[in-house]
Amino acid sequence: MPEFPISGYHGRVLVADLSRGEVRTLPLDPGLALDYLGGRGMATRVLYDTIDPACDPLGPDNAFVIAASPLIGSNAPTAGRGHMVFKSPLTGVLGTSNSGGTWGAAFKAAGFDVLVVKGAAATPVMIDISPGKAEILPADHVWGKTTHETNDVLAAVSEPGNPARVLCIGPAGENLVRFAAVANDRNRVYGRCGPGAVWGSKKLKAVRVRGKEKIAVADMEKYRSGLDQALYLMKQAPVTKRLLRDLGTAGLVELINLIAMLPHKNFQDCLHRDEDVERISGETLAKTLLEKAGSCYLCPIGCQRHTRVAGRDGREERGEGPEYETMVLMGPLCGIYDLGAITRANYRANELGLDTMSYGGTVACAMELAERGLIGREEAGGLDLAFGSGEALESLAVMTARREGLGAALAEGSYRLAAGRGHPEYAMTVKKLEIPAYDPRASYTQALGYMTSPSGACHLRGGYAVSLAFFGGAREIPRFSLLQSPIAIRNMQNVGILQDSLGVCRFTGYAFSSDPWARMVGGITGRDFSVARLEEIENRVATLERQFNIEAGVTAEDDVLPARFADVPIVVEGKERRVSREDQERMKQDYYRVRGWDAAGRPTPGLVRSLQIEESKR
C-alpha cells in the first residue's frame, strides 16, 4: 500500500465482513482525513457510506465503525480515546459512543486508522488485529463470559512491551439488551446507545489489538507549542488540576446539588436532604471506598476511581467507579443514597456489559411505574421496586443482562418499558435515550443540548453545558438565556465533535477549547488545521449526523423533552423553572437556523453543498 500523504495517519482501513468471514485492508482516502479529521467525524462518514440509516439496527445490515485520529500515537494529553458509531438499537438513530482506556491507542499502534465491521456471523467470533495481520477467530470459549473474564482470557497472549488490548461485550450484549455496552480495560466502556447489542447481533464477542506502529510528526515545533499550552492550562484549571483527581467525577455530586440540578426520583424534582447527598459525594467516596485514582492512556487528569466495597455476602470486591453519572442515575434518580449498593450495582453492570446511565434511568422509570401501580410486585419477581430500594439495583442488573423476569422488559430501555404499559410519559428520554444526571430545567442550554443531540439525550454529544454553566471560568454562560442558548450549545456541541474526532477527553474542555488542539493537529499532520478549518469540519460532521438521522426517520417532533420538564417546575434560586413548550420550540427553531437547517430540522441543500458533504457512497 503506498505511503499515506498526511502525517499522523497510517492510511489503512480494516474492513471485517462477518457474514462472509473475511477481513480486508483498504487504503484510507486522504480527502476523508482532511474533511473529517478522524474519530467521530471520520467514523460517521464511513458509516454513512456503509449502511442504510433506515436499516434494522440489530440486523446484519447494520455496521459499526471505530476510527482513530491523527493525534493518537502522539503524546498529546488524553489522546488515546476511541470513538464508535453505529445505528442504535435503543434509539433507532445514530449511535455514537466514546471510551477512554487504552484500546484506542493500541488500535492505532496496530497500524490502522479505521475499523469497519459489518454483516453478522452465525457463531460467536472475535477479531484479532496486529500489524499486517487481521483475522476472524472463533470465540465460543468466551461467549457467555463477563467483560472482565473475557478481557483476562483474551489478553493472556500479551508479551512484555507488547500488551494485547481487548474490546469486548458481556452477557448483556450477547442477549441484545438495547443499552448494552462494549468494554475495554475491564471497566472503560463505550456505554451509550447500545453498541454492545449491535456486537451481540453480529455474534462478535471481542476485538483484540496489539502493535507498536508509530506515527510521524510533520512539524514538531508547532505541535509542541500547542502541547505546552494545553499542559499549562490543564495545570491551571482547578477541575483538571485537582478536582477530578481528588474526587473523581463524583466530586460533582454536591456541586450539582448546590445549583439545583441534581435529579431525584425519575426527574420528579431536584430535592434532596444535604446529609443524603453527602453520603454519595465524591468526598465520601474518596474517604471510604477509594483505593486509588487512575488514568486513561496519557491522561494527566486521572479521574478514574479504583474502589473496593463489601459484597452482599460480606466479601470484599474490587472494581471501578462509581462515576458521577452512575452515582446519580443509579442513586438519587432511584431515590437511593446507599454508596455501597450503588457501587456493587456499578460493578455488576460493568461486568455484565450494561450502560450504567441507561440502566439507572430505566430502573428509575420502573420504580415510578411501580409507584403508580403499573408494575406489580409479582412481575418484579418479589423485588421491592420502591424508590430507595438499593437492594433491587444489583439484582435487576443481573436480571436485565440475562433478560430474566422483569429484566426482559428493562432490557428494552425505559421508553419501551413505559410505552409498553401505556405511559411513555414516564420515560425520561429524548429519542428514547435516557437523560443524563443534570436536570434540564436548571439550564436552558443543557435542555436544548438534550433536545438536539444527534444520539438522543446525551450530555457529551449534546453539549456539556454544565461545564460552562458553573465551572466554565471565563467561559461561564447564563443558565436561562433563550437568546444565548442556541449558539452556546451549537458551539459546545462543535467542541465535542472536535474532541471526539481527535480522540481526546471531554474534560480537557474545562481547561481550554480548540486553539491548542489546532496547533497540535496542524503540527502532526503538517496541514492547515486552523481553528477556522476545524470549525468547518465540526459543522460538516454535525450536519452529516443530522442527515443520517433524517434518513433514519427523525423529524423535528423528536427534538423535544419529555412533558414533565415543560409541565412540572423545579425551584432554582427561589424561582420556579421549567422549559415550556414555547421556549423549547423557540430555542429549537433558533438552533436549526444557526445550524443552517430548515424549520423541519433538515439540512438545506445549500448547506450540504457549502459544507461539501457528498452523497452516500453506499
Q: Can you give the binding site for another protein, defined by CB under 8 A?
A: 221-222, 224-225, 228-229, 232-233, 468, 472, 474-481, 483-484, 486-488, 490-492, 494-495, 513-515, 518-519, 530-532, 535, 539, 590, 593-594
Alpha carbon distance 180, 173 (integer Å): 5
Backbone angles phi, psi at 27, to 5 degrees: -75, 145
Footprint of ligand SF4 on residues 86-125 (CB under 6 A)? 100
- CB neighbour class for 582 (10 Å; exposed up to 12, middle 13-18, buried from 19): exposed
Backbone angles phi, psi at 125, to 5 degrees: -135, 170
C-alpha closest to that of 503 among 209, 82, 165: 82
303 binds, among ligand SF4, another protein, none (CB under 5 to 8 A by kind): ligand SF4
Alpha carbon distance 295, 463 (integer Å): 23
Alpha carbon distance 478, 444 (integer Å): 9
Site string for ligand SF4, 292-331 (x = CB under 6 A): ---xx--x-xxxx---------------------------
386 binds, among another protein, ligand SF4, none (CB under 5 to 8 A by kind): none
383 binds, among ligand SF4, another protein, none (CB under 5 to 8 A by kind): none
Q: Nearer to another protein by C-beta: 99 or 453? A: 453
Residue 227 Cβ vs another protein, minimum distance, rounded to whole Å = 11
Q: Nearer to ligand SF4 by C-beta: 186 or 205? A: 186
Residue 101 Cβ vs ligand SF4, minimum distance, rounded to whole Å = 8
Alpha carbon distance 430, 561 (integer Å): 6
306 binds, among another protein, ligand SF4, none (CB under 5 to 8 A by kind): none
Torsional sign, CA 481, 93, 40, 187: positive
Q: Is 78 in the site for ligand SF4 (CB under 6 A)?
A: yes
Q: Nearer to ligand SF4 by C-beta: 498 or 572? A: 498
Which of 14, 505, 518, 524 binds ligand SF4 (CB under 6 A)? It is 505
Q: Distances from the Cα of 77 to the Cαs of 234, 300, 463, 584, in angstroms?
A: 9, 7, 21, 37
Given a contact cutoff of 8 angstroms between Cβ atoms, the answer to whether 326 and 253 are in contact is no
Residue 535 Cβ vs another protein, minimum distance, rounded to whole Å = 6
Q: Nearer to ligand SF4 by C-beta: 240 or 268? A: 240
Q: Distances from the Cα of 241 to the Cαs of 301, 311, 341, 394, 576, in angstroms?
A: 7, 33, 30, 34, 35
295 binds, among another protein, ligand SF4, none (CB under 5 to 8 A by kind): ligand SF4
Q: Which residue has the cell 488524553?
A: 78
Q: Nearer to ligand SF4 by C-beta: 32 or 301? A: 301
Residue 300 Cβ vs ligand SF4, minimum distance, rounded to whole Å = 8
Binding segment toward ligand SF4, per CB under 6 A, in 264-272, 291-299, 368-376, 424-432 = 291-299
Strands annotated E in 169-203? 182-184, 188-190
Q: Is 191 in the site for ligand SF4 (CB under 6 A)?
A: no
Q: Nearer to ligand SF4 by C-beta: 237 or 299? A: 299
Q: Nearer to ligand SF4 by C-beta: 240 or 485? A: 240
Residue 537 Cβ vs another protein, minimum distance, rounded to whole Å = 12
573 binds, among ligand SF4, another protein, none (CB under 5 to 8 A by kind): none
Q: Nearer to another protein by C-beta: 190 or 517? A: 517
Beta bridge partners of 596: none
Task: Name residues whose C-beta falls within 8 Å of residue 378's C-beta, 6 or more positions apart in sequence.
Answer: none
Given a contact cutoff of 8 angstroms between Cβ atoms, the answer to whether 195 and 455 are in contact is no
505 binds, among ligand SF4, another protein, none (CB under 5 to 8 A by kind): ligand SF4
Q: Nearer to ligand SF4 by C-beta: 28 or 520? A: 520
Residue 296 Cβ vs ligand SF4, minimum distance, rounded to whole Å = 3
Alpha carbon distance 415, 417 (integer Å): 5
C-alpha closest to that of 336 among 312, 367, 305: 367
Footprint of ligand SF4 on residues 247-286 (CB under 6 A)? none
Residue 518 Cβ vs another protein, minimum distance, rounded to whole Å = 7
Q: Nearer to another protein by C-beta: 228 or 582? A: 228
Give the Cβ contact number of residue 60 at 10 Å: 16
Beta bridge partners of 16: 23, 117
Strands annotated E in 461-617? 570-572, 575-577
Count interface residues toward ligand SF4 (CB under 6 A).
12
Alpha carbon distance 612, 8 (integer Å): 23
88 binds, among another protein, ligand SF4, none (CB under 5 to 8 A by kind): none
Beta strands at 125-130 and 204-209: parallel, antiparallel or unpaired: parallel
| DSSP state letters, 506-540 | GGGGGT--SHHHHHHHHHHH-S---HHHHHHHHHH
Q: Nearer to ligand SF4 by C-beta: 81 or 540? A: 81
Residue 302 Cβ vs ligand SF4, minimum distance, rounded to whole Å = 5
Q: Nearer to another protein by C-beta: 25 or 484? A: 484
Given a contact cutoff of 8 angstroms between Cβ atoms, the answer to whether 556 and 567 are in contact is no
Q: Is 507 in the site for ligand SF4 (CB under 6 A)?
A: yes
582 binds, among ligand SF4, another protein, none (CB under 5 to 8 A by kind): none
Residue 230 Cβ vs ligand SF4, minimum distance, rounded to whole Å = 13
Task: Name residues whose C-beta falls within 8 Å of residue 304's C-beta, 6 or more positions apart in sequence.
Answer: 187, 248, 293, 294, 295, 296, 320
494 binds, among ligand SF4, another protein, none (CB under 5 to 8 A by kind): another protein
487 binds, among ligand SF4, another protein, none (CB under 5 to 8 A by kind): another protein
Q: What is the binding site for ligand SF4 (CB under 6 A)?
A: 78, 100, 244, 295-296, 299, 301-304, 505, 507
